[in-house]
Structure 1
Amino acid sequence: MPTRRGGLGTSDVLLLGAAGNSGALIGAELAARGLSVRLAGRRLAPVDDLARALTARGASAQACAVDVDEPDSLSAALAGARVVLNTVGPFTRRAGPVIAACLAAGVPYVDIANEFPAVWGLLDRDGEARERGVVLVTGAGFGPAATETLVLRLVEVMASPPRGVRVASAAGVTRQTEGVTQSIVAALGQGALTYRDGRLVREPLGSGATELTFGGAARPVFPAPVGDLEAARRASGAADVVAYQPDPSTRRSGTDSVAWAEVTGRDGRIRTAELHLGEGVRATAAIAAETTRRVLAGAMPGAWTPGRLFGADLVPDASGARITLDGVPA
């Protein structure tokens, strides 16, 4: 039977935000990988129901109530957990205290953030994470892990680091949760962000809007303050980087998700790649769970994106994604 606070003992994973749609799917993916899970949410009843459902299928699951904005509540939930997987957004506002608590307790941390400030902020703590011997991983979801995968694949076949990189993705989802909506709103408030000559440039949202053709469709897109931007820069070493987001007013039906990347070499040669997989939230659940499993299996301390820590095969291994390089299956 699932366990409530007062008898939590130990668990492989403390899953924060387990009551949400993403959290429930991630909980199932973690259990399918044989990991014991402590399901945590602001209210006990929903996570208790999920814990009972997972336990009925043979998983080891616990349930507890936690308020990630309250240090004492968070500290109590952390006790006995081997790694924290955080799905509570907006990450720009709410991830910091969780990361700090993990660093203080020496517990590895994984999240599914794709807001530029949140991804950049975690990666900026690399020195502190190495000093404390703690693994921190951000962006362990469809965005930005899918475009990062493509950039890593393209860079592998180039003779030298590219001069420029452009990435974009379009996640097909069954429904967009309130948490995801809040994260998108928080991110878009940053305006349009790009890297030019190695410098971060901020402009009004909508600047640089264009149309890209990928996934078999022409898509209106605009530069966005998403984690893909920082992940692509670090994966490529390019001085000029743009991460595009589809215009939400032209959202397409269907649940197929696609990512696209283009790199321009110093000789001017352009190469492209695409990644195709299924429903975006389910893909995020698989990527987050597999990233967490690999962290538990052993990883180098520091602050990472999933691809830079585990390589370009992580996303296909986790989700069954199909990749093409210059139109050829890879």
Structure 2
Amino acid sequence: MPDRTALVLGCGAMGAATARLVIEDTRFKNVVVADRDLQRAEALAETLGSPVTALELDCRQEDRVTRSLGGMSVVLNTTGPFSRDTLSLMRTVVEAGVPYADINDDVETLQSVFDSEYLDSLAKHRGVGVLPGLGANPGQTNVLAGHMASRMDIVEEVRFFMVNDAIYHNEAVWRHRLALFSKPALLFDRGRWT
């Protein structure tokens, strides 16, 4: 069995769900859950049990992030807001030669990631994958809509509705979600934004 370790950044609802998925994956021997609030990370690690350990880590502190990457097989970023310091965090992780994925759903940030020739060449040089935007919006939702539309003769309109029973304790989350659904959608097609 491989001796892989996943570093999950962020111990909120999405970080907890991500950590649970990694625990179920037999390819990973260890999971480290990291948050800038150590008590939050420890509480999640205790809830999930072995093989999960907690780490205090502020993603905005590049030197601490770099030190935390030793022995990591992948970084799964669930922190937010993604409009803040995402590119520098990605660069730090990729420079260390560690694959990176996130649930980034900030369109402008995703656009800057896809437009970054430096990040692209760095990832290729280090031989690591970078998978941003794995969240439900705008990631999977618009991909699914595009796939469904490609199977139809004519598509006049696509509408998205957000229905969930999640309880958000932070008004910023609702503001962010509503902003995502109120703007015209961007499409990255054949290497260009349209």
Q: TM-score, normalised by structure 2?
A: 0.79
The CA RMSD measured in Å over matched residues stands at 3.3
Q: Which residue of 1 aligns with 2:149?
A: 154
Q: Which residue of 2 aligns with 1:87?
A: 78
Q: Which among 217, 220, 224 is matched to residue 183 of structure 2?
A: 224
Letter in 1 for 2:57: V
What secondary structure does 2:85 align onto?
helix
Q: 1:75: how far off?
A: 1.1
Query: Kindly tell me: are residues 238 and 101 of structure 1, through their superposed partners in 2, closer, same or farther at Cα, counting changes over 3 Å?
Result: closer
What secondary structure does 1:91 align onto?
coil
Does residue 59 of structure 2 align to residue 62 of structure 1?
no
Residue deviations 1:206-233 (CA, integer Å, cap 9, x gap): xxxxxxxxxxxxxxxx6427xxx34xx2
Q: Which residue of 2 aligns with 1:53?
A: 47
What secondary structure does 2:141 align onto?
helix
- Structure 2 counterparts to residues 179-198 of structure 1, below 5 A: 181=173, 184=176, 188=179
* Aligned pairs, number: 186
What secondary structure does 2:75 align onto?
strand
Residue deviations 1:45-66 (CA, integer Å, cap 9, x gap): 22122212222xxx42121100
Aligned equivalents of 1:121 and 1:37: distance in 2? 29
Q: Which residue of 2 aligns with 1:28?
A: 20
Q: Which structure 1 segments of 5+ residues have no match?
A: 1-9, 193-221, 241-330
Residue deviations 1:112-137 (CA, integer Å, cap 9, x gap): 11111111122223632334322111
Bigger share in strand: 1
- Structure 2 counterparts to residues 142-181 of structure 1, below 5 A: 142-144=136-138, 145-155=140-150, 157=151, 166=158, 168-178=160-170, 181=173
The answer to whether the Cα contact below 8 Å between 1:11 and 1:38 also exists between their aligned partners in 2 is: no
Q: Which residue of 1 aligns with 2:108?
A: 117
Letter in 2 for 1:234: F
Aligned equivalents of 2:33 and 2:192: distance in 1? 40
Does residue 91 of structure 2 align to residue 100 of structure 1?
yes
Aligned equivalents of 1:239 and 1:42: distance in 2? 34
Q: 1:30: how far off?
A: 1.7
Query: Kindly tell me: are residues 49 and 31 of structure 1, through their superposed partners in 2, closer, same or farther at Cα, counting changes over 3 Å?
Result: same
The answer to whether the Cα contact below 8 Å between 1:110 and 1:136 also exists between their aligned partners in 2 is: yes
Q: 1:235: how far off?
A: 5.7
Aligned equivalents of 1:133 and 1:167: distance in 2? 38
Q: Which residue of 2 aligns with 1:324?
A: none
Query: Kindly tell me: are residues 237 and 94 of structure 1, through their superposed partners in 2, closer, same or farther at Cα, counting changes over 3 Å?
Result: closer
What secondary structure does 1:92 align onto?
coil
Q: Which structure 2 segments of 5+ residues have no match?
A: none
Q: 1:11: how far off?
A: 4.9
Q: TM-score, normalised by structure 1?
A: 0.49
Aligned equivalents of 1:100 and 1:238: distance in 2? 22
- Structure 2 counterparts to residues 1-330 of structure 1, below 5 A: 11-18=4-11, 20-34=12-26, 35=28, 36-55=30-49, 59-125=50-116, 127-128=120-121, 129-144=123-138, 145-155=140-150, 157=151, 166=158, 168-178=160-170, 181=173, 184=176, 188=179, 223-224=182-183, 229-230=185-186, 233-234=187-188
Largest Rg, 1 or 2: 1
